[in-house]
Chains A and B, each alone.
Chain A
Amino acid sequence: MIKRKVVSWTVRGFIVFLISGSVMALFWYHELLYRYGLLSLFVFGGLGIAALIATVSWLTRPYKSLRMRGKGSFYFPPENLTKVLFGTISMISIPIDDEKPPGQGSLCLARVDTGKRIPFANFMIKDVNRAIVSDIEEEDLSRMGFSDIDELQTKAQESGLALSGDVEVYLVEFEVLEKGRF
């Protein structure tokens, strides 16, 4: 997490520095700018500077990934919302025959499955693995918020999913990057 923040700030800082440096370098050639006349400078220069300010402000936002769009959404029942936000639940299982989840490092949206499917968090996929349901380890079960396999199977059945012991599933591990503010 810290490494990612450091890399992100370094890249942003470098881009901001390049923009600032370019603006400063323009002073060296300020005579060139006079050629275009006041109106052109006012309109196009103004638009250019506005775009620059917008870009710099976007780059200097509080921590948010440079990649804007996630690759998909995952749906959670309302009762799990706080558990996901506070990291108590950091893994989900998806049957292997369902749609393939995005791979490591992808950004996704977490949505509350209440009909409207409202997004409540932005998270990053840390790891995707596969397992047979009966082989899922206790550690992974606790990450999913279950105490044992029976509980996982019962909950799955309640949501209309048959997860017998032989079913193969994706185990998607994730980390919440940004909470709310959508």
Chain B
Amino acid sequence: MDGLAYFLVLVMFIASLVVLLLGVITLKTRGLRSVFAALMTTFLIVNFCWLFGPGGFLGIDPSFYSLLGGSATILTFPLATFLILMFLHPRNLVKQIPTFSLLMIPAVVLGSWASQIGVGASQVYEIQYVYLFVILCICLGLVESIWGWLGSRTVRNQCYLFILAFLVLLATGPLYDYELEMLGFWGLRGASLGAPIVGAFILAPLVLANPMPFVKTPYLTISKSRPSYDLKPGRCYGISEKRPKYCYTLFKDLSDSGYPTMVLTSSDPGRLRMDLGLSGSTVIGMTSRDTSKTLKATNLGRVLFTLTEFAEKNRKPVMLVDCLHYMLSNNDTMDVAELIQKLLEPIERNEGVLIMSFSLMTKEEKETLLGLGVLHLQMPPPEDVISRILAAYLGDLSEYLLKLSSRMMSKKARDFTVEDIPELSSILAHSMRALGQATNEEAILRNWERQVIGLRQSLTSFQNAPIAFLSSDGWRDWDSLDWIKKPRRRRPKMRMVAGEAVTPKALATTHRKVSLHDEVSGVFVDSLGDFGSDLLKMECASLGIEFKTMTKEDVEMLADSAATTLFEMGGFVNVESANVSMKATAENLKKDLGRIFQETVEWYPE
């Protein structure tokens, strides 16, 4: 070998060493790291043997180095192929053993045989069986890489570089002798020239798909989840909701029950961990760039490997993906569908649960993902159900009290979740009791207390409602007042008073005659809901009016007094918009009552 060839081999040797060190430092998956290290070590041995082998610098026992170089050259090809197969078909190490044996046993046998018959590195490709085996390994790697490139969308970029790696291996390995012949240059031999290039082509995609590091959850006793959440193991759930809320509720329940959990979120991971109290969970963020703590939305290979790694390494893993819409915005829908499909396999095998938030998704995207066998749960917005319950108990006051509660909880009403119900219930109870006490009337206070108990029971019932009930739209027909077996207060009906015999003429002249107190009561209930009837009784008591025998003058007094009370209550609520709205309600009530005593309808006291 001449000086230039020595220099080139030395450069390749150093470059291979650098690639080996980079790979060992950067690769996180143990299996891939070991195989990559073995591959680069065989490359180093090949180069080392060329440096110190026959005619080398030191001229130490040329035959030994030559034979070692020959065996290492043979091992290089199956190792490279095995590495690609490991990456494209990630399984646990035990399941990789047959593939490993199939590739490595013939390589070891051929290497030993080549050493025995004294074939060194310079003649290794001249043995027919070795040549055939090496070509077979390269073809297998090439076919798998091309198949991955064409068939898989998530690892397309990786496969592209793997194909290049195998072409370099082919050009610097079995085809090299022909090239040397053509070029007339006999300096470098065998796989030595391609060592760092092949290493770099293989290392780059492996690093791109490097899974995020996570601490393996220690074995925990898994307690039972809430019976209402009955999620089946080994299944994937897509939760449709306007804003992601129920997915967190279900996930938190499973996390608290001791399942190993992981969240992939597009929001701030630290904040989410703090908000949900997920101290034992792995929370990974998804952003527009790849870092040591976040995944890039377009790097689906890395997303897949991170999720698969977690699913494979834990028993009964629970994973939440709340950033599906973010992935779909930056990738093709089919790419994301393939990722989910690949993820379902380890989930099913390890009896885990995958929860995905279907918020902010188009109908087509939902349909595509549901086609993969994802169970769909259409959940109602919690704020809507809470509003319905409040409206049933408090009528028009519900809006004000909801605003008041939202201000006290420093949270917008639209952000209320099922988890907020205990706090919300407590705030509402305090406010309602305070309103009741403001009336200074024991009977009304008692009525408010009854309402408080009913409201709290209804809210708790909603909190514990089974998923099947909520996802089936059953909540829309649910009468929260029925929950406490309380008959719904009906609006007083207008009663017909038959004054004379029913003849066609009489029918034409009959007036609608209703009692005055019913009409007044109707106005109060219409304006203020259940609170209206309480207010009417309170005002009658304070003004000394006999309810059933009230006159038009009494109604006039009642209108003034009720309006004043409502004004005062509006000031008490201390929410500007509620205050204004309360005053408007008072004005309307006064106007409606004024209309009653100005009407010339004949009133029949009972």
Contacts and interface: CB of A to CB of B under 8 A. Distances in A.
Contacts of B329: 100-101, 103, 128-130, 170
**Interface size of A as a range:** 10 to 19
B128 interface: no
A103 B331 contact: yes
Contact of B242 (A103, A128, A132): A132
Contacts of B298: 103-105
A178 interface: no
Given A126-B288, A130-B360, A168-B360, A104 B242 contact: no
A79 interface: no
Nearest to B327: A103
A158 to B, nearest CB: 26
A132 B360 contact: yes
A105 B331 CA distance: 11
B288 A132 contact: no
B583 interface: no
Interface string B362-385: 100000000000000000000000
B326 A135 contact: no
B512 to A, nearest CB: 42
B297 A104 contact: yes
Contact of B330 (A103, A132, A134, A135): A103
Main secondary structure of the interface of B (DSSP, over half): loop
Contacts of B293: none
A82 B491 CA distance: 63
A96 B362 contact: yes
Contacts of A127: 288, 330
Interface string B137-152: 0000000000000000
A31 interface: no
A102 B266 CA distance: 19
Contacts of B325: 129-130
Interface string A86-105: 00000000001100110111
A105 B329 CA distance: 12
A177 B296 CA distance: 21
A132 B362 contact: no
B331 A129 contact: no
Nearest to A97: B362
A131 interface: yes
Nearest to B329: A128
Contacts of A134: 414
Contacts of B296: 104
A100 B336 CA distance: 15
Nearest to B185: A28
Contacts of B414: 134
Interface in A139-180: 168, 170
A132 B243 contact: yes
Contacts of B288: 104, 126-127
Nearest to B330: A103
B116 to A, nearest CB: 41
Given A127-B288, A129-B266, A130-B325, A96 B360 contact: yes
Contact of B326 (A101, A105, A126, A129): A129
A153 B26 CA distance: 48
A104 B326 CA distance: 11
Contacts of B242: 132
B298 to A, nearest CB: 5
B351 to A, nearest CB: 32
B360 to A, nearest CB: 4
A128 B362 CA distance: 15
Contacts of A101: 329
A49 B362 CA distance: 53
Nearest to A106: B330
B180 to A, nearest CB: 15
Contacts of A100: 329
A128 B326 CA distance: 7
Q: Which of B266, B325, B331 has the most chain A CB atoms inside 10 A of its CB?
A: B325
B330 A104 contact: yes
A89 B298 CA distance: 24
Contacts of B362: 96-97
A103 B414 CA distance: 30
A6 B331 CA distance: 26
Contacts of B360: 96, 130-132, 168
A96 B363 CA distance: 11
A132 B325 CA distance: 12
Contacts of A105: 298
Nearest to B296: A104
Residue with the greatest number of chain A CB neighbours at <10 A, chosen from B242, B243, B326, B360: B360
A55 to B, nearest CB: 21
Interface string B235-263: 00000001100000000000000000000
Interface string B406-424: 0000000010000000000
A104 B414 CA distance: 30
A170 B328 CA distance: 11
Contacts of A132: 242-243, 360
A130 B326 contact: yes
A103 B266 CA distance: 16
Contacts of A130: 325-326, 329, 360
* Most B C-beta atoms less than 10 A away, residue of A101, A103, A170: A103
A40 to B, nearest CB: 21
A100 B414 CA distance: 27
Query: B266, B325, B330, B362 — which one has the most chain A CB atoms within 10 A of its CB?
Result: B330
B578 to A, nearest CB: 21
Contacts of A135: 243
B23 to A, nearest CB: 21
Interface string B309-326: 000000000000000011
A131 B244 CA distance: 12
24 contacts: A96-B360, A96-B362, A97-B362, A100-B329, A103-B297, A103-B329, A103-B330, A103-B331, A104-B288, A104-B296, A126-B288, A128-B330, A129-B325, A129-B326, A129-B329, A130-B325, A130-B329, A130-B360, A132-B242, A132-B243, A134-B414, A135-B243, A168-B360, A170-B329
For the complex of A and B, list the 3 residue pairs with the smallest distance between their C-beta atoms, beginning with the closest.
A103-B330, A128-B329, A130-B360
Interface of A: 96-97, 100-101, 103-105, 126-132, 134-135, 168, 170
Given A130-B325, A130-B326, 8 more contacts: A96-B360, A103-B330, A104-B330, A129-B326, A132-B242, A132-B243, A134-B414, A170-B329
